[in-house]
Amino acid sequence: MNVIQITKSILNDIYQPRPADSRKYDYGLLLVIGGSEFYSGSPALSAMAAFRAGVDMVRIVAPKRAADIIASFSPNLAAYPLSGSHLNKEHLTNLISMTESAKTVSRGKTAVVIGGGAGRTEETQGVILEYLSQVSVPVVIDADAIHALSKKPETISDQPSLITPHTYEFFILTGKEVYKLSDEEKIKIVRSEAARLNTTILLKGKIDIISNGKEVALNKTGSPYIAKGGCGDTLAGIAGALLARGVKPFEAGQAAAFINGKAGELAAKKLKDSLTATDLIEEISKVIE
């Protein structure tokens, strides 16, 4: 099995100089769906990282309290408030229509990041599953959306998707405990599960393993100082930005892992234990320049 070692060259084709006649949305419109009454940071971090990774626009869709908080973070963030404290059945039609509207306005350059901070109530998990079954845009499935998908993994078999689990979420999704296995064993299992689910999996770890079920790539950028809250949300946002501009899930997973890890390295050199996810976001521009 050929295993790709990811280097900065993965970014060369993605980040070409923009033509003089470029229009808004040529490089993507990203929807970030998530958040709940108690969790507002996750969608915001994904959105901010996506902007730094080059997407032209981000729309955050979240329950009202989370959306209102997010909108106050930065004038760059457009947050659409949904009624209630969590994603519920009443929101489904709205979510789907907003996704279709995004496809239209962006001339097809749209992707979705879903799951961060959404919560694991039965109703919310059901809404996430139903949403995934009805949309056709590329989607990054992260955090609580991975828990939802575990109940019916075949939901995403017909659409371009990237799942971004850490080892416990991978266990929830697949039933495979890989935490204590060798890298070689992890690689085989990730590839096998990606093939079974007809998706691309980015297993986060000291070495990130990315597979579309056929090919495998390894990312070795990163730092132990980014093993903290929010740095997975930034990865999801970067991956979403890349999908929105038309990068295929396997390549997007590789590039996102490289960018997030390298930005984490740069931030860790300065801050070590004091590093936060927003510090990582500020270093993204240096990685893609």
Annotated binding site for AMP: 232
* Burial classification of residue 122, based on how many CB atoms lie within 10 Å of its CB (0-12 exposed, 13-18 middle, 19 or more buried): exposed
DSSP string, 170-190: HHHHHS---TTS-HHHHHHHH
Please list, in sequence order, all residues whose beta carbon lies within 8 angstroms of the beta carbon of residue 91, skipping any fewer than 6 positions away.
82, 83, 84, 127
The CA–CA distances, whole Å, from 224 to 1, 108, 161, 264 equal 29, 38, 27, 9
Quote helix, strand, coil % in the chain, to nearest 5.
50, 15, 35
The rounded distance, in Å, linking the Cα atoms of 12 and 69 is 36
Q: Enumerate the known binding-site residues for (6S)-NADPHX.
A: 117, 166, 233
Q: Which of 214, 231, 233, 229 is nearest to 267 (CA)?
A: 231
Q: Enumerate the known binding-site residues.
A: 117, 166, 232-233
Is 113:30 a contact under the CB 8 Å cutoff? yes
